[in-house]
C-alpha cells in the first residue's frame, strides 16, 4: 500500500497530528504525553504570537488510512534573514525510511520555496518548545518539557543526510542535602558585596509582577546560545500566561538587585511527567487531579529554566540560586533532581554542577542540520 502525504488544515486534523505520538509510544514507560491544549495553542496561528514573525506548515503521512508519520516545517524571519535557515519539528514516524524520507523532503522543499538554504531540527518556534532529538538516555523518563523519541530516529536522520549541529546534555541525580563550602562561602560574599538577594513572595500572584523581568533576563542570558531567537513582549506575555499558572512559589527563585530588578532566576517545579502520562493529554475531566497530586506529593523536581544577566554571571549569582534550591528542596521533601537541556559546549554552566553529586550527560539530545 502506497503512502499518502496530507497537509494539515483545520483544528480536527491538527488534533490528529498532535495525537499521533500517543499511539506510536503507547505502553512506553519513558514517553511523556504532552497536553493537547498546550500543543494546539503553540501550533495555531491565531493563538501563538510567534507567528507575528514566523510561518509554518504541518503534514502527516498515512498508510491504509492510519497516520504513520508527521512533521512541522517552520520559518522564523530573523533566522531566515540572518542565516538562511528553516526548521523542522514535531517529527515522529514509524521505523520506515520511506516515511521519514517523505516527511523530511516535504519540509525541505517548502523551506527552499521560502528562500532557505538549510534546515535544522528538531526545533520549535522558541527555546521553550520541544527541541533536540534524544540520542542517549532512552531508558530515562522524559521531563514534560523535552522530546522523547525512539532510537531508530537517529539512523533515519543520518540516512537523509543530516549532521549534528549542536548537542545538549541533562542532569539527573540526588538533590543535595548540604551545599559545598565553596557555595556557602560564595553566598556570604555575594550578598554583602553586590547587594543582591533572593526575593521573598507571600503568594504566587506576587511573582507575576516579576515574570516579565524573568523573561527579559532569559533573552539576555540566552542570546548567544544555539538557535535562540529573542522573545518579543507579546511572546513574553503569552508565556507568562502559559507557564506561570503551573508554578509553586516556593520552587521559583528570583534574584533582585538594589533597585528590585530581576538579575537572575530559576524556574523549577515538582515533576509533572508521571501526572502528564496519567492525564493522557488532557487536564479534564480527571487529568488536573494527577497534576495537583504531583504538585504536593512528589520527591522529584525539574529544573525548567535558569538564567543570570550577563553582567552578573561572573559574580557568582548561581551560588545564591543553588543555595535557595537546596534549602527549599530539603524542606519540601525533594530527593531527586532533573534538569532541562544544557548545551554540551557551555562548559561554564556544566562546571557549576561539578561540586554536586549530580550525573551530567547520561541523557543527551542533538539538533541536526542539512544544507541544500
CB 208 within 8 A of CB 242: no
Separation in Å, CA 95 to CA 49, 70, 367: 34, 13, 20
Phi-psi region of 137 (alpha: psi -120 to 50; beta: other; left: phi over 0): left
User: Under a CB-based contact definition with an 8 Å cutoff, are residues 174 and 62 in contact?
Assistant: no
Q: What is the DSSP letter of 145?
A: T
Q: Helical H runs in 25-67?
A: 36-43
The fold for domain 4-169 equals Aminopeptidase (3.40.630)
| pLDDT at res. 193 | 83
* CA distance linking residue 359 with residue 119, whole number of Å: 32
Q: Where are the domains of the chain?
A: 4-169, 176-334
Residue 118 is predicted with a pLDDT of 98
Q: Yes or no: say if 17 and 8 are a contact pair by the CB < 8 Å rule.
A: yes
| 176-334 is a CATH 3.40.630 domain | yes
pLDDT at 314: 84
Which ranges of the chain have pLDDT less than 70? 1, 355-357
Q: Look at residue 226 in the predicted model and tell me its pLDDT.
A: 95
What's the grid cell of residue 133? 532529538
C-alpha cell of residue 141: 523518563
Query: pTM for the full model?
Result: 0.94
β-strand 118-121 against 85-93: which pairing, if any? parallel
| Fold agreement (4-169, 176-334) | yes
Amino acid at each position: 500500500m502506497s503512502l499518502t502525504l496530507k497537509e494539515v488544515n483545520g483544528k480536527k486534523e491538527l488534533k490528529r497530528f498532535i495525537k499521533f505520538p500517543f499511539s506510536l509510544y503507547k505502553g512506553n514507560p519513558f514517553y511523556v504525553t504532552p497536553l493537547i491544549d498546550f500543543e494546539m495553542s503553540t501550533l495555531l496561528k491565531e493563538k501563538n504570537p510567534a507567528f507575528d514573525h514566523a510561518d509554518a506548515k504541518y503534514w502527516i503521512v498515512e498508510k491504509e488510512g492510519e497516520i504513520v508519520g508527521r512533521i512541522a516545517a517552520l520559518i522564523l524571519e530573523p533566522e531566515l534573514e540572518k542565516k538562511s535557515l528553516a526548521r523542522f519539528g514535531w517529527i515522529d514516524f514509524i521505523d520506515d525510511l520511506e516515511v521519514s524520507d517523505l516527511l523530511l523532503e516535504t519540509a525541505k522543499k517548502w523551506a527552499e520555496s521560502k528562500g532557505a538554504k538549510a534546515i535544522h531540527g528538531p526545533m520549535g518556534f522558541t527555546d521553550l518548545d520541544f527541541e533536540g532529538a534524544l540520542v542517549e538516555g532512552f531508558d530515562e523518563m522524559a521531563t514534560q518539557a523535552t522530546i522523547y523519541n525512539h532510537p531508530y530516529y537517529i539512523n533515519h536522520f543520518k540516512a537523509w543526510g543530516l549532521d549534528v549541529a549542536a548537542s545538549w546534555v541533562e542532569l539527573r541525580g540526588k538533590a543535595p542535602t548540604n551545599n559545598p563550602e565553596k557555595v556557602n562561602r560564595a553566598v556570604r560574599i555575594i550578598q554583602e558585596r553586590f547587594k543582591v538577594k533572593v526575593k521573598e513572595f507571600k503568594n504566587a500572584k506576587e511573582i507575576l509582577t516579576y515574570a516579565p523581568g524573568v523573561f527579559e533576563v532569559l533573552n539576555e542570558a540566552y542570546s548567544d546560545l544555539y538557535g535562540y531567537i529573542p522573545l518579543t513582549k507579546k511572546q513574553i506575555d503569552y508565556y507568562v500566561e502559559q507557564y506561570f499558572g503551573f508554578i509553586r512559589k516556593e520552587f521559583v527563585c528570583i534574584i533582585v538587585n538594589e533597585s528590585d530588578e530581576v538579575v537572575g532566576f530559576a524556574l523549577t517545579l515538582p515533576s509533572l511527567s508521571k501526572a502528564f502520562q496519567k492525564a493522557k493529554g488532557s487536564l479534564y475531566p480527571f487529568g488536573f487531579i494527577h497534576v495537583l497530586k504531583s504538585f504536593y506529593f512528589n520527591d522529584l523536581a525539574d529544573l525548567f529554566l535558569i538564567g543570570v544577566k550577563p553582567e552578573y554571571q561572573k559574580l557568582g549569582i548561581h551560588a545564591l540560586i543553588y543555595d535557595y534550591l537546596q534549602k527549599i528542596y530539603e524542606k519540601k521533601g525533594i530527593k531527586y533532581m532533573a534538569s532541562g537541556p544544557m548545551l554540551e559546549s557551555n562548559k561554564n554552566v556544566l562546571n557549576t554542577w561539578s561540586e554536586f553529586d549530580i550525573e551530567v550527560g547520561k541523557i543527551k539530545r542533538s539538533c541536526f542540520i542539512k544544507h541544500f
